[in-house]
Amino acid sequence: MDQGYIRVAAATPKIRVADPVYNGERILELMREGAENKAKLIVFPELCITAYTCNDLFLQDRLLSEAKKTLARLAAATKQMDLLAFVGLPWEMGGRLYNVAAAISGGKVLGLVPKLHIPNYSEYYEGRYFARGNEIPAWVDFLGERIPIGSRLLFACEEIPELKVSAEVCEDLWVVSPPSIGHALAGATVVVNSSASVETVGKDDYRRSLVSGQSGRLVCGYIYASAGEGESSQDLVFGGHNMIAENGTVLAEAKRFSAGITYADMDLWRLRSERRRMNTYPGSLPGLPARNAGAACGYGCDGQTQQTAGCAAGCAGMPGWGSPECSPHYLTVPFHLNPERLTLRRVIDPAPFVPHDTGERNKRCEEILNIQSLGLKKRLEHTGTKCAVLGISGGLDSTLALLVTARAFDLLGLDRKNIIAVTMPCFGTTDRTYHNACVMTKKLGATLREIDIRAAVTQHFKDIGHDPDNHDVTYENSQARERTQILMDIANQENGMVIGTGDMSELALGWATYNGDHMSMYGVNASVPKTLVRHLVRYYADTCGEKELSGVLMDVLDTPVSPELLPPEKGGEISQKTEDLVGPYELHDFFLYHMLRFGYGPARICRMALAAFAGAYEPEVIKKWLRTFYRRFFSQQFKRSCLPDGPKVGSVALSPRGDLRMPSDAVSRIWMEEMDSL
């Protein structure tokens, strides 16, 4: 498999009603097109070999026999294609007619999955023709082969262990307890649905929610192929509304009222990671190995008539298969694919923490500000604290912390004057950031204190024998620790609480002075990534309704990210730019998200980054900063192991009491070795 990616497709051919020969040719054309485009799994609509709208013609021997002949031709054609396909047709068994999806691959029919829930309401009259399908697989003869038929079939790819496919048919998805629930419990990672869903006003929205919702609750891929052009329009119209979803997200969707093929690159590693992460996701039930007549089953049957203690009267296809000992199990049917590397069609989001839609982003920003402010409100309320103290630098993080603190005070009905914002200029402070810090504090109604720390830090250099012309880490960290000491002491004076300003991206990289800006009494930004901090401040600027405050916030957004610990350049410009030293935060946030959210390794993350940031960064630049990320992430865990409390706002967080239980002395060797191979 190509690092977990597999190309899948949902296809709707333009068909003719009751013409299996013509329909088979159209299906074959799309199968060949899919194979040429490296699709490994293709799903076709319900009853597409005959058309769904045949009505009483389903009772004609001629139609049924031609449908089987067409299936045989399609199955034979797959010998020259590297794919697994599902096609729908009517199937007669035991004097009853069944609506089935046939799985074909490698020149054979691998299995038949019958529809379990037969609708007979409104415009549907399937009960007139079709019987409810069987769950426990039985065996039928077709073209000299014994083929399993039943809903409990699990098609497992030998070469791609993560690819396990099960099927349901149309209405099966719409019922209270869809078969796909059992499929996922049995280990299916991808569920396919051959459907013929009619179009009525607004139905597409509900259909989409069903497909995306089922893929989300089952943590699976879901491929939905629906009947379209060519079906009878005597009373109904079919739109070919094909969808491919993955864990709650619709990856691709066909334009309705058209025929053709829809592709998506599905991420099986992501599904595996999500299931592994969720300890409430049930483990898979054991499967039974697929077998032909004469092969022994897992209970010791000879595959013919031998009775055993484990299986009352033989194995699958024999009377008694499906006894209580067997019924929980699925029949596993193996198939083969040749994994090959893809040029990804999947869109890799370069900003996974930030919604791209403006409306959704604004909604997210409001939600996060509420979480932050409510978290701080609870802490202030619990401790009886009516004063908050924070350092204000004129940078992004301290700006966000001040905005959140103001909100929390409003929620408590406290006077914002009890927010003490302390600006502490020193060697690296620029006029721009100092001015912004002062104006912002005053406009928010907080109390501004200015404490110049140059003399204190200079005295400290004398005390420890440090040359002030040596601008090393001691020079920088002494300033950070002096500022933290001042904040803590003011909090003691005022019976207040020091509000932390550091964000999650800085914590991931260890870009904080231990027991300096690393420490506080409550860190409101602790789980907010740097890429999102910027949008939160912009959202506040856009919605605050105060022109001067908005202007200051916009200037903060335009200011380079810097700790301002080194003297400014000539002209007073910031000389120390964080992203020049540790790398672009948009890259590090991307690395952090995919490492912690899905457990991906360096090779996978690098490939995703190359796709996401194509044209923005050269490959060697991405690899350089990815190496920096891993080195710093492992070496700086000791700083994260003793973080102050702070609210979690998203699916990735670094709290040692919550999301990241990581030893401080874990080594990065195997990750760096993988980096070396890139």
pLDDT, tens digit, 9 for 90 and up, residues 311-330: 433 344 443 344 333 445 78
Query: Residue 443's pLDDT is what?
Result: 96
Residues 6+ apart with CB under 8 A from 533: 396, 397, 400, 503, 525
Q: 558 in helix, strand or coil? A: helix
Beta-strand pair 388-391/330-335: unpaired
Q: Which residues of the chain have pLDDT under 70?
A: 1, 284-328, 575
Nearest residue to 635 via CA among 657, 664, 662: 664
Query: Residue 466's pLDDT is what?
Result: 97
Query: Residue 469's pLDDT is what?
Result: 95
Query: Residue 124's pLDDT is what?
Result: 83
Tokens 């710093």 -> residue: 632
What is the edge-to-edge ordering of all strands in the sheet holding 419-423?
A: 447-450, 419-423, 388-391, 497-500, 522-523
Region at 300 (left for phi over 0; alpha for psi -120 to 50; beta for the rest): left
Nearest residue to 676 via CA among 624, 634, 633, 637: 624
Query: Residue 199's pLDDT is what?
Result: 86
Domains of the chain: 5-286+329-335 (3.60.110.10), 291-328 (no CATH), 358-676 (3.40.50.620)
Distances in Å between the alpha carbon of 251 and those of 154, 195, 218, 348, 490?
23, 18, 16, 11, 53
Q: Is residue 438 exposed (0-12), middle (13-18) or buried (19+ Cβ within 10 Å)? A: middle
Query: Residue 328's pLDDT is what?
Result: 53
pTM of structure: 0.87
Rounded Cα distance between 629 and 209, Å, is: 38
Tokens 């796909």 -> residue: 180
Query: Residue 298's pLDDT is what?
Result: 41
Q: Give strand ranges (E) for 501-622.
A: 522-523
Residues 6+ apart with CB under 8 A from 225: 10, 11, 12, 43, 44, 45, 86, 192, 193, 194, 195, 242
Q: Is the dihedral of CA 646, 647, 649, 654 positive or negative?
A: positive
Torsion of CA 217, 223, 224, 227, to 10 degrees: -170
Distances in Å between the alpha carbon of 511 and those of 33, 376, 394, 473, 530?
51, 24, 18, 12, 12
Rounded Cα distance between 83 and 39, Å, is: 7
Q: 49 in helix, strand or coil? A: coil
Rounded Cα distance between 31 and 39, Å, is: 9
Q: What is the pLDDT of residues 337-371, one digit of tens each?
A: 999 899 898 999 999 999 999 999 999 999 999 99
Q: Report residue 288: phi and psi, to 5°.
A: -100, 140
The residues pairing with 138 across neighbouring beta strands, listed in sequence order, are: 149
Rounded Cα distance between 26 and 33, Å, is: 11
Nearest residue to 446 via CA among 507, 390, 498, 395: 390
Rounded Cα distance between 652 and 631, Å, is: 19
Query: Residue 313's pLDDT is what?
Result: 33
**What is the DSSP annotation of 333-346?**
EEE----------S
Query: Residue 318's pLDDT is what?
Result: 40
Catalytic residues: 46, 115, 170
Could you tell me if 115 and 133 are in contact, meaning their C-beta atoms sit under 8 angstroms apart?
yes
Q: How many CB atoms lie within 10 A of CB 336?
A: 12
Query: Residue 316's pLDDT is what?
Result: 43
Could you tell me if 656 and 641 are in contact, meaning their C-beta atoms sit under 8 angstroms apart?
yes
Rounded Cα distance between 198 and 228, Å, is: 9
- Secondary structure letter of residue 304 according to DSSP: S
Rounded Cα distance between 565 and 581, Å, is: 13
Could you tell me if 346 and 5 are in contact, meaning their C-beta atoms sit under 8 angstroms apart?
yes
Q: How many CB atoms lie within 10 A of CB 214?
A: 22
Token pair of 179 as six digits? 């078969």
Could you tell me if 4 and 604 are in contact, meaning their C-beta atoms sit under 8 angstroms apart?
yes
Q: Report residue 461: phi and psi, to 5°.
A: -60, -40
Tokens 């879901």 -> residue: 222
Query: Residue 566's pLDDT is what?
Result: 81
Angle, alpha carbons 93-98-104 (nearest 5°): 90
